[in-house]
Structure 1
Amino acid sequence: MKTIFLGLFLLFATVQYSAAQTPNGTSPAPTKEEQQIIELSKTKWLWMADKNVDSLNVLFDTKSVFVHMGGSWGKAQEINVIKSGGIHYKKADVHSVSVNIIGNTAILLNNITLLAVVGGNEVTNPFIVTEVYIKEKGHWKMGSLSFTKINKEH
């Protein structure tokens, strides 16, 4: 039974990998809409580093959620944490990014090294960050930002 599941998993993984590659073995270029999400994410990291809460307040949906190593909360608390310097996102070095768009929802994955000040202490951590954006009335709003700490940088 385990062999069957392992075989199916490997078959599925191979099909998924080959479907995501161009004939020369590279990943396909992002679509215009995917590139728009990638640029929005880059801009968001800059706004977070600059503590630009006015722009972030527009970007974050009123029902947005944020998941950190120390807990999870909504938009108001995230804005307050950034504004007060409770977490200062000093610099996000983005190593890789991918975007999947499903209908009016975009899911972006960033592999980053984050330099931040948390509780007055400067820390550097490798994360996979999941960002979920929802397109409403022609504009993208952030619905979720979630940090998953990884053991080593990739």
Structure 2
Amino acid sequence: MNRKIILSLLIMLITGKVALAQSTDLEKEIRELSTQKWQWMADKDADKLEGLFHDKAKFVHMGGTWGKDREVEIIRGGFIHYKKADVHEVMVEVLNDNTVILWNQITLLAVVGSNEVTNPFMVTEVYVKEDNTWKLADLTFSKTMTRE
């Protein structure tokens, strides 16, 4: 009887470690994808971003909410230039093999219209896997208050 208990515990431990390793790999993959996204935004690489954005994606900014086509048009046209995102903290939550939420605490240097602005944000990114490819389904900017 003790052998069965020990064997069962050993199997649970191994299974747990495999699941944890898969989750950690997935978290790393999404962190890297998010970092690439910030670089593509800084580079105004609308073509790469268009490939990353889910067709039904939503983008929530201080000035409104819109879909993929409008966000790509804004970036391509230079209305918003995400010049530099200084990422201070990243948190990742794997909901399942096909859905991951990432939160970035950032200071964003951007050009909006003709004005250069810097704002602190908590950014929520929701990634979904579709046809074995990660797509950004939601990007929400929440302005935070800073302490002085």
Same fold (TM over 0.5): yes
Measure, in 2, the Cα distance between the counterparts of 1:49 and 1:136: 25
Q: Looking at CA atoms only, which structure, 1 or 2, has the larger radius of gyration?
A: 2
In structure 2, the partner of 1:37 is: 30
In structure 2, the partner of 1:115 is: 109
Aligned: 1:144 with 2:138: yes
RMSD: 1.0
Q: Say which SS state the counterpart of residue 124 (structure 1) adopts.
A: strand
Name segments (4+ residues, structure 1) moved above 2 Å: none
In structure 1, the partner of 2:83 is: 90
Unpaired segments ≥5 residues, structure 2: 1-22
Deviation string 1:18-39 (CA, Å, 9 cap, x unpaired) is: xxxxxxxxxxxx7011000000
Unpaired segments ≥5 residues, structure 1: 1-29
Q: TM-score of the superposition, structure 1-length normalised? A: 0.79
Structure 1 residue 138 displacement after superposition:
1.7
Aligned: 1:49 with 2:55: no
In structure 2, the partner of 1:22 is: none
Identity of aligned residues (%): 59
Aligned: 1:61 with 2:54: yes
Deviation string 1:8-27 (CA, Å, 9 cap, x unpaired) is: xxxxxxxxxxxxxxxxxxxx
In structure 2, the partner of 1:72 is: 65
Counting only pairs closer than 5 Å after superposition, residues 95-110 of structure 1 correspond to structure 2 as 95-103=88-96, 104-110=98-104
Aligned: 1:124 with 2:118: yes
Measure, in 2, the Cα distance between the counterparts of 1:94 and 1:138: 27
